[in-house]
Amino acid sequence: MDEKFLLKTSLICALIGILLLFYLAEYIIKVDEVSIDRINELDEGTDVKIKGFIEKITDLEKIAILEVSQLKSITVILFKSGNITISKGDYVEIIGEVQEYNGKMELIGNEIKRLD
């Protein structure tokens, strides 16, 4: 077989595979939205989405500790890779993993987005 044909075919297959993975990650794999008062009912390690207002931010060197509230509040830990562009009072959506720390459930945030 012609090497150019094989190269083109493999590049096209790789591109189609990447696009398919992007589609699956964006549209098929969904994280359920949960109210903060139901977090204690969930198993540790469960991925969830919460929405709420930021009541307090503690900005440390490599992490940020947020208090996010609806009717109840929860501590959210964010591992930072840059500056935080959110502030107290912002309405945010956070996707993260439920973890227990010192007998309390908290959220290890993977993604945070400010909602308007």
pLDDT tier at 1 (50, 70, 90 boundaries)?
low
| 77 backbone φψ class: left, alpha, beta (φ>0; ψ -120 to 50) | beta
Q: Which helix (H) or strand (E) holds 22?
A: helix 3-23
Name the residue with higher pLDDT: 32 or 76: 76
With a cut of 90, say whether residue 84 has pLDDT above it.
no
Cα 96 from Cα 77, distance rounded (Å): 9
With a cut of 70, say whether residue 97 has pLDDT above it.
yes
* Percent of residues, the chain, with pLDDT higher than 70: 98
Residue 90 vs residues 30, 67, 101: alpha-carbon distances, Å: 24, 11, 25
Cα 65 from Cα 67, distance rounded (Å): 7
The per-residue pLDDT for range 9-52, each reduced to its tens digit, is 999 999 999 999 888 877 777 777 888 888 888 888 888 999 99
Question: Model pTM?
Answer: 0.71
